[in-house]
Structure 1
């Protein structure tokens, strides 16, 4: 139903994630920019889905499409098979000929994944708040991990505040209560999910879930950025590596319990270059170490090369939590990793790869 409705409105809304599937002008969704959403059936049938609506609007505002699917609670693989993957007759024939690979299912059904499967979505986002296989009563993480590995599609699991109100969550110094944390963060992560981000919940005096609009927008922006990472050429992707530096001021940059970190980093850089990422590789591990520990370090009085000096105004613009940080640690830029009223960002830039040094926190023995 959503796909038919979407095809009627997409030209008007100027959403970019569609394509003409054939010469007849049939409008379909472009898998690379389509998000698969797993929804709770009780929320749909009881018409208490405003938090879903808010998130979908935010995602579409980023130029992405959505395929919402109602979860059966006990086994999300069924919804994924029905709405998020397209096996096709030819692929199905090849699978049957090859024998396929069967998956365990808690309801005694057998779901098949194979390399001939074509995905209809670029990411799967669960809004159910429960495990991928097993629902609220149990979880079969092995089956979930096996199935999701076969799909090879990123899996996210967002958080709707079900056992605490929005107000209590905001006022609590610990945030999510233990039930929410265990059910909606820990178990989905065991399944393989990422992004346990709160997007809605029940207000203090409310009776149904409501969207947290600003957070819905943040989720949508993150999904858009994940999508951009999936579809961009590797030569255009920028990466950052952060090397170990603790205890502070003890010459421990890149040591990490006596491991030869910089030698490993050098090998990683070579692998990245071989796989198509744009990176400038130093001549040797020693050259890499000299670049990282030397350079502008002595001039700035830092422990490593200073790649960038950030003024306080820029820091305040980029860090939305500056008020909370300054309340505990004092006004920026502070006395550590700073000079001349600026924050010192330590590291080296190697084309599209930045190697940063773990920021110093505190003093040895404090």
Structure 2
């Protein structure tokens, strides 16, 4: 008996384990990988034709437009069970409705036992195979978890009694119930270990992603209220959320643009930093390391979370090929990096407001009206906004001295001092003379930091811009140098500074393809002056 499965990446590991346990011939295809590697679609369709049963969990990938008509032809001879978060997708099934509904219950409850029983049930009902199986077994929808605990906890009180937190900061970790029930918790375990190693207490909580009255599941917002608040008072110093759905998402209103409102209000009540790292479902670790960035993960992992106002989209997991199945695997050093970021944000929140230092970076569009482009923003008065924010900060207790009363005063100060990173029309001597220098960085100071970068990163920068800090390469200076030191420009206002964005891929007094490299090479690394500026900040 052969079964072909077309499902999302996240379902593959649990189905693979079930297939191995049952000794079934299971051909597994990730719908995300088929989307990215369309040449494999024919292979998957051929497998469907040769199978006794086709099992699918349909999503919204574009590849279904190509696959679905061909599957309908195959369906004349093969039983198909098609599930999906949208029940409209179920109509592709050729199995009786009662079978499809029961199959959905098995898969939704989750866990290896339920998935094994799912395929035994389908084999008997659709293929006439002699098989014994258990009915769908409900599993907890929410709870607290810890890798060292003997079981999950159904209340925060029980968890804290077992955990015995110390007086260090406390971080909440909200993750998908799907990974708890299917025992695919490598990423969560690594994050917990990293946070605890950095001296933080952790409250890891799993939850179903959406409120569904038919299933009896609560929204993540309700779960957050029970586990991360104590009689209305936040228990947390920071929250890490790894679920892409909005906190207040409901099944009946999934996809509505106002679904972020509940989450935003809860985050305001928590009043702590909320982090949403990236857990890639599409790339292996090797693919991510070779890539220029994310691809299919951007929508779910970067764009969606921005609607709730969360921060720090640091990738912490990628896929690892295990027996042909791409399983989510932690990237250990990135989990540690996220933990360090969380710890620093907590330290910042505890730092007295009067001691906090803030930098404003103004956009500087290269090769476009030069000084007139400083602070440009489409349909936005960014200069006036910075001035208004600075004055609000003073009222809140920040130590900002001589802050500009208006945007006009701010831009006038920047221009009078020549506090800009301009190579063509403003000599470095003029910037120094007029007070536009925020700081100098010596060759030794810069090289000490530069040498901490990965060798391949250093090589790329030096290939493009010469050796640090000011070696000429094709007569192009890689940094704004004055007496051998890199010049960092800006205006200081006490504990606040306003800087104009250093030129990202441009250097030198000429305006041509060699100088403005970014016009012809979007992958060109930044200049030494660019990196020195951000390192200083």
Render the CA deviation track for 1:234-261: whole Å, top value 9, x for unaligned.
1011001123444458333746379886
Aligned-pair CA distance for 1:287: 7.5
RMSD over aligned Cα atoms: 3.5
Alpha carbons of structure 1 residues 235 and 209: separation in structure 2 relative to 1, 3 Å: same
Residue 274 (str. 1) matches residue 395 (str. 2):
yes
Tell me which residue corresponds to 2:160. 3
> Based on CA coordinates, which of the two structures has the bigger radius of gyration?
2
Q: In the alignment, which of 252, 263, 266 is matched to residue 147 of structure 1? A: 263
Aligned-pair CA distance for 1:204: 3.3
Aligned-pair CA distance for 1:170: 1.6
Tell me which residue corresponds to 1:105. none
Tell me which residue corresponds to 1:122. 237
Residue 356 (str. 1) matches residue 517 (str. 2):
no
For the residue of structure 1 that corresponds to 2:264, the secondary structure is helix
For 1:122 and 1:141, the matched residues in 2 are separated by 29
Tell me which residue corresponds to 1:331. 467
Alpha carbons of structure 1 residues 159 and 260: separation in structure 2 relative to 1, 3 Å: closer
Tell me which residue corresponds to 1:24. none
Indicate conservation of the 8 Å contact 2:375/2:500, yes or no: no
Tell me which residue corresponds to 2:309. 192
Aligned-pair CA distance for 1:39: 1.6
For 2:250 and 2:466, the matched residues in 1 are separated by 46
Tell me which residue corresponds to 2:376. 256
Q: In the alignment, which of 412, 417, 428 is matched to residue 294 of structure 1? A: 417
For the residue of structure 2 that corresponds to 1:203, the secondary structure is strand
Residue 307 (str. 1) matches residue 444 (str. 2):
no
Alpha carbons of structure 1 residues 79 and 123: separation in structure 2 relative to 1, 3 Å: same
**Range that drifts further, 197-206 or 314-323:** 314-323
Alpha carbons of structure 1 residues 247 and 299: separation in structure 2 relative to 1, 3 Å: closer
For 2:321 and 2:404, the matched residues in 1 are separated by 61
Indicate conservation of the 8 Å contact 2:418/2:431, yes or no: no
For 2:182 and 2:382, the matched residues in 1 are separated by 55
Indicate conservation of the 8 Å contact 2:355/2:399, yes or no: yes
For 2:199 and 2:482, the matched residues in 1 are separated by 42
Tell me which residue corresponds to 1:81. 225
Residue 47 (str. 1) matches residue 176 (str. 2):
no
Render the CA deviation track for 1:35-92: whole Å, top value 9, x for unaligned.
21112223223332122111111112222221111121223213212211223xxxxx
Alpha carbons of structure 1 residues 344 and 274: separation in structure 2 relative to 1, 3 Å: same
Indicate conservation of the 8 Å contact 2:400/2:494, yes or no: yes
For 1:240 and 1:123, the matched residues in 2 are separated by 23
For 1:199 and 1:38, the matched residues in 2 are separated by 15
Render the CA deviation track for 1:84-128: whole Å, top value 9, x for unaligned.
1223xxxxxxxxxxxxxxxxxxxxxxxxxxxxx311113322123
Aligned-pair CA distance for 1:280: 1.2
For the residue of structure 2 that corresponds to 1:354, the secondary structure is strand
For the residue of structure 2 that corresponds to 1:142, the secondary structure is helix
Aligned-pair CA distance for 1:146: 3.0
Residue 160 (str. 1) matches residue 303 (str. 2):
no
Tell me which residue corresponds to 1:230. 349
For 1:283 and 1:131, the matched residues in 2 are separated by 39
TM-score by length of 1: 0.72
Alignment: residue pair count: 314
For 1:141 and 1:200, the matched residues in 2 are separated by 28
Indicate conservation of the 8 Å contact 2:177/2:207, yes or no: yes
Tell me which residue corresponds to 2:146. none
For the residue of structure 1 that corresponds to 2:469, the secondary structure is coil
For 1:359 and 1:226, the matched residues in 2 are separated by 26
Render the CA deviation track for 1:164-194: whole Å, top value 9, x for unaligned.
2222222223x3232x222222222223332
Tell me which residue corresponds to 1:241. 360
For 1:44 and 1:293, the matched residues in 2 are separated by 60
Indicate conservation of the 8 Å contact 1:161/1:201, yes or no: yes
Alpha carbons of structure 1 residues 197 and 215: separation in structure 2 relative to 1, 3 Å: same
For 2:495 and 2:177, the matched residues in 1 are separated by 45
For 2:298 and 2:352, the matched residues in 1 are separated by 36
For 1:37 and 1:291, the matched residues in 2 are separated by 43
Indicate conservation of the 8 Å contact 2:418/2:430, yes or no: no
Indicate conservation of the 8 Å contact 2:207/2:220, yes or no: yes
Indicate conservation of the 8 Å contact 1:132/1:139, yes or no: no
Tell me which residue corresponds to 2:10. none
**Range that drifts further, 209-218 or 250-259:** 250-259
For 1:130 and 1:273, the matched residues in 2 are separated by 36
For the residue of structure 2 that corresponds to 1:3, the secondary structure is helix
